[in-house]
Amino acid sequence: MRPLDGYFFGDYFIGQKFVHATPRTITTGDTALYQALTGSRNPLHCSEPYAQSLGYPTSPVDDLLVFHIAFGKTVADVSYNAVANLGYADCRFVRPVFAGDTIRAETEIIGLHKNSSGKTGVVYVRSDAFNQDDQLVLTWARWVMVHCQAVSAPTNAQTDPLRVPQFAAFVAPDQLSVPACMQRSSLAAGVTGSAHFWEDIPLEVPIRHPAGMTIDETDHTLATKLYQNTARVHFDAQHMAGSRFGRRLVYGGQVISVCRALSYDGLENALSVAAINAGAHTNPTFAGDTLYAVSTPVAKWPLSQHIGALRVRLAGYKNVDPNTGAFASATDAQTVLDLDYTILMQRQA
Amino acid sequence: MRPLDGYFFGDYFIGQKFVHATPRTITTGDTALYQALTGSRNPLHCSEPYAQSLGYPTSPVDDLLVFHIAFGKTVADVSYNAVANLGYADCRFVRPVFAGDTIRAETEIIGLHKNSSGKTGVVYVRSDAFNQDDQLVLTWARWVMVHCQAVSAPTNAQTDPLRVPQFAAFVAPDQLSVPACMQRSSLAAGVTGSAHFWEDIPLEVPIRHPAGMTIDETDHTLATKLYQNTARVHFDAQHMAGSRFGRRLVYGGQVISVCRALSYDGLENALSVAAINAGAHTNPTFAGDTLYAVSTPVAKWPLSQHIGALRVRLAGYKNVDPNTGAFASATDAQTVLDLDYTILMQRQA
Amino acid sequence: MRPLDGYFFGDYFIGQKFVHATPRTITTGDTALYQALTGSRNPLHCSEPYAQSLGYPTSPVDDLLVFHIAFGKTVADVSYNAVANLGYADCRFVRPVFAGDTIRAETEIIGLHKNSSGKTGVVYVRSDAFNQDDQLVLTWARWVMVHCQAVSAPTNAQTDPLRVPQFAAFVAPDQLSVPACMQRSSLAAGVTGSAHFWEDIPLEVPIRHPAGMTIDETDHTLATKLYQNTARVHFDAQHMAGSRFGRRLVYGGQVISVCRALSYDGLENALSVAAINAGAHTNPTFAGDTLYAVSTPVAKWPLSQHIGALRVRLAGYKNVDPNTGAFASATDAQTVLDLDYTILMQRQA
Per residue in A96-135, pLDDT tens? 999 999 999 999 999 999 888 888 899 999 999 999 999 9
A130-185: pLDDT as tens digits: 999 999 999 999 999 998 875 444 455 444 557 889 999 999 999 999 887 778 88
Per-chain mean pLDDT for chain A? 92
Please tell me if residue C324 touches chain B, with a CB cutoff of 8 Å.
Answer: no
Q: What is the DSSP letter of B89?
A: E
Q: What is the pLDDT of residue B159?
A: 47
- pLDDT at res. B82: 83
CB A194 within 8 A of CB A269: yes
Chains touching chain C, criterion 3+ CB pairs below 8 Å:
A, B
pLDDT at A154: 44
Q: What is the mean pLDDT of residues C162-180?
A: 91
Residues 123-142 of C with CB under 8 A from B: 132
> What per-residue confidence (pLDDT) applies to A156?
52
The upper half-sphere exposure of residue B151, i.e. CA atoms within 13 Å in the direction of its Cβ, equals: 3
Measured distance CA(B29)–CA(C278) in Å, rounded = 34
Distances (CA, A) of B5 to A168, A208, A266: 37, 10, 10
- What is the number of other CB atoms lying within 10 angstroms of the CB of residue B169? 10
Q: In what helix (H) or strand (E) does residue B220 lie, and over which residues does it extend?
A: helix B217-226
Instruction: Note whether B186 contacts C: Cβ–Cβ < 8 A.
Output: no
Q: What is the pLDDT of residue A267?
A: 96
DSSP bridge pairs for C232: none
CA distance to partner chain B, nearest, from residue C328 (Å) = 36
CB-based contact (8 Å) between A194 and chain C? no
Q: Is the pLDDT of residue A295 over 90?
A: yes
Interface test with B, best of C130, C218, C250 (most B CBs within 10 A): C218
What is the number of CB-based contacts under 8 A between chain A and chain B?
A: 129
Q: Which residues of A touch B225 (CB under 8 A)?
A: 35-39
* pLDDT (tens digit per residue) in C129-168: 999 999 999 999 999 999 887 544 445 545 455 788 999 9
Residues 19-58 of A with CB under 8 A from B: 27-33, 35-39, 41, 43, 46-50
Handedness of CA B268, B273, B275, B277 (dihedral sign): positive
Give the whole-angstrom CA distance, residue A293 versus residue A335.
10
Q: Which one of B221, B224, B226, B233 makes the best mutation probe of the A interface by having the most chain A beta carbons within 10 Å?
A: B221
Q: Which residues of A touch B76 (CB under 8 A)?
A: 193, 265
Over range B119-126, report the average pLDDT.
Answer: 94
% of chain A beyond a pLDDT of 90: 81
Give the angle subtended at the CA of A75 by the CAs of C51 and A149, to the nearest 5°: 130
pLDDT tens-digit map of B250-287: 999 999 999 999 999 999 999 999 999 999 999 999 99
Interface list for B 257-286 with C (CB within 8 A)? 265-266, 268
Long-range Cβ contacts of A299-306 (<8 Å, 24+ apart):
A299/A170, A299/A203, A300/A198, A300/A201, A300/A203, A301/A173, A301/A176, A302/A198, A302/A347, A303/A173, A303/A176, A303/A178, A303/A344, A304/A178, A304/A182, A305/A184, A305/A347, A306/A182, A306/A183, A306/A184, A306/A346, A306/A347
Per-residue pLDDT band for B151 (boundaries 50, 70, 90) equals: very low
Which one of B27, B77, B234, B248 would you mutate to disrupt binding with A, by most A Cβ within 10 Å of its Cβ? Answer: B27
CA B344 to chain centre: 16
Measured between CB atoms, does A102 come within 8 Å of chain B? Answer: no
Question: Which tens digit of pLDDT belongs to each residue from A184-232?
Answer: 887 777 788 898 999 999 999 999 999 999 999 999 999 999 999 998 8
Helix (H, G, I), strand (E, B) or coil at C186: coil
User: CB-based contact (8 Å) between C119 and chain B?
Assistant: no
Write the pLDDT tens digit of every residue in B202-216. Answer: 999 999 999 999 999
C-alpha separations of A73 from A52, A78, A146, B343 in Å: 30, 9, 17, 47
The Cα angle at residue B107 between residues B106 and B110, in degrees rounded to 5: 155
For residue A134, how many other CB atoms are within 10 A of its CB? 7
The answer to whether residue B246 neighbours chain A at the CB level (below 8 Å) is: no
Instruction: Give how far C215 is from chain A: nearest CA, Å.
Output: 9
Most B CBs within 10 Å, among C221, C232, C248, C251, to test the B interface: C221
* B179-190 average pLDDT score: 78
Residue C33 and residue A226: Cα distance in Å, rounded? 8
Output helix, strand, coil percentages for chain A, rounded to the nearest 5: 25, 30, 45
C-alpha span between B35 and B261 (Å, rounded): 9
Is the model's pLDDT at C322 over the cut of 60?
A: yes
Q: What's the average model confidence in pLDDT over B64-78?
A: 96
Q: pTM here?
A: 0.95
- Ranking A62-66, C26-30, C112-116 by mean pLDDT, the lowest is C112-116
Contact C2 B193 (CB under 8 A): yes
Interchain proximity C210–A29, CB inside 8 Å: no
**Closest-CA distance of chain C to residue A237, Å:** 6
Q: Which chains touch A (3 or more CB pairs under 8 A)?
A: B, C
- Residue B72, chain C, CB below 8 Å: the answer is no
The per-residue pLDDT for C327 is: 93
Residue C26: pLDDT above 50? Answer: yes
Angle at C329 between CA C328 and CA C333, to 5 degrees: 120
Contact in structure between B33 and B105 (CB atoms under 8 Å)? no
Q: Does the distance separating the beta carbons of A29 and C31 come in below 8 Å?
A: yes
In chain A, what residues touch B228 (CB-CB under 8 Å)?
35, 39, 41, 46
Average pLDDT over residues B24-51: 97
Contact call for C225 and B319, based on CB within 8 A: no
Question: In this structure, are residues C192 and C45 in contact, taking their beta carbons and an 8 Å threshold?
Answer: no
Q: Least CB-CB distance to B29: which of C4, C32, C132? A: C32
